[in-house]
């Protein structure tokens, strides 16, 4: 790793110690300079153009490409802040950032969830994935969950809850459904007490990694014959709330969305009014034009 990238990574970590941005940005920068193989002060706008084209040829997601460009832009801003003779920032936002289309969240089907959870037997894993499905936790939030974040008992004002630190180091309160609480309590009964404050630990008693959690889910999916990601469990939580007619502002708070329009996307994947209007319209259309099949 270049010394400048190491300094940048340490600076990011000091500013937001609970965020994983410093990890992702450092990885993105290493990938860029391994691909380009030129000194930091010789990178040009056309080099950034070429890198974007390279990523697109590799069919990388737009969000991934934009994050890499954001990492590069932030890196050069950091260099400019640290030195008067820093190299010129080669990133031009209007030129390099790709405008993403509007994509709906990809949730999991209920029958797939039944098949998945039928093969999850370990108490730890069942608790982890139910927190995603029933409480809307991100995989990083599950990984970062510590024992002192849990308020399971003696809650005079209502439901058992958890304090989470989500994106942008913002805290929110998440309530536990009876199913998630039962699974979590079952895991805590056998949780090894030690110096590690993490709720979810591996066999060595250390906090699980995000990759470790994702690989564990992938192994269960292979056994169940389905493919569901951690984030799809969270998306399904959002869909279930919409189907239960929970107000969108409440869903926003429960999911930890900074913007209401992010939450409103979930209304489009399970809009009961649109479904009802469509069904009624098709009944009228078919009365006028039945298109019955002719018998050969």
Output b/e per residue, 14-37; b: 16+ Cβ within 10 A: eeeeebebbebbbebbeebbeebe
Radius of gyration of the chain from its Cα atoms, rounded to whole angstroms = 24
What is the layout of strands, in order, in the sheet containing 150-151? 150-151, 161-165, 171-175
The catalytic residue among 96, 134, 191, 257 is: 257
Asked if 268 is an active-site residue, the reply is no
Of 138, 165, 191, 235, the active-site residue reads 138
**Which DSSP string corresponds to 230-292?**
HHHHHHHHHHHHHHTT--HHHHHHHHT-SSHHHHHHHHHHS-HHHHHHHHHHHHHHHHH---P
Instruction: Please state, in angstroms and as integers, the Cα–Cα distance from residue 4 to each residue in 13, 52, 83, 171, following that order.
Output: 14, 22, 12, 31
Confirm whether 18 is a catalytic residue: no
Helix axes 178-190, 123-135, angle to 10 degrees: 150
The one catalytic residue in 172, 231, 239, 240 is 231
Distance of CA 193 to the CA centre of its chain: 29
Residue in 22, 76, 220, 266 annotated catalytic = 266
Side-chain half-sphere of 184: how many Cα atoms within 13 Å? Answer: 26
Q: Do strands 150-151 and 171-175 pair parallel, antiparallel, or not at all (unpaired)? A: unpaired
Name the catalytic one among 123, 167, 172, 239.
Answer: 167
| Tokens (6 digits) for 211 | 């990759």
DSSP symbols for 79-104: HHHH-TTPPPP---HHHHS--PPP--
Residue 234 known to be catalytic: yes
Does the annotation mark 138 as catalytic?
yes
- The answer to whether the beta carbons of residues 247 and 83 sit under 8 Å apart is no
So which residues are the catalytic ones? 138, 167, 231, 234, 257, 266
């Amino acid at each position: 790793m270049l010394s400048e990238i190491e300094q940048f990574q340490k600076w990011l970590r000091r500013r937001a110690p609970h965020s994983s941005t410093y990890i992702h940005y450092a990885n993105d920068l290493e990938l860029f300079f391994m691909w380009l193989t030129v000194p930091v002060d010789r990178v040009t706008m056309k080099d950034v153009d070429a890198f974007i084209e390279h990523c697109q040829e590799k069919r990388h997601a737009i969000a991934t490409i934009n994050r890499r460009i954001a990492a590069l832009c932030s890196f050069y801003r950091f260099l400019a802040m640290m030195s008067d003779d820093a190299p010129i920032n080669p990133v031009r936002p209007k030129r390099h950032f790709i405008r993403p289309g509007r994509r709906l969240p990809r949730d999991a089907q209920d029958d797939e969830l039944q098949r998945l959870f039928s093969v999850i037997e370990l108490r730890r894993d069942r608790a982890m994935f139910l927190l995603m499905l029933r409480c809307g936790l991100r995989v990083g939030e599950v990984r970062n969950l510590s024992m002192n974040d849990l308020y399971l008992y003696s809650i005079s004002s209502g439901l058992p809850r958890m304090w989470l630190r989500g994106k942008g180091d913002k805290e929110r309160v998440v309530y536990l459904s009876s199913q998630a609480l039962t699974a979590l309590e079952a895991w805590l009964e056998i949780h090894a007490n030690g110096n590690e404050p993490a709720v979810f630990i591996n066999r060595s008693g250390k906090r699980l990694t995000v990759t470790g959690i994702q690989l564990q889910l992938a192994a269960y999916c292979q056994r169940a014959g389905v493919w569901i990601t951690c984030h799809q469990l969270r998306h399904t939580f959002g869909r279930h709330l919409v189907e239960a007619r929970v107000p969108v502002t409440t869903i926003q708070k429960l999911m930890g969305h900074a913007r209401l329009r992010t939450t409103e996307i979930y209304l489009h994947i399970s809009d009961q009014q649109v479904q009802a209007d469509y069904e009624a319209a098709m009944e009228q259309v078919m009365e006028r034009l039945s298109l019955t099949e002719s018998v050969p």
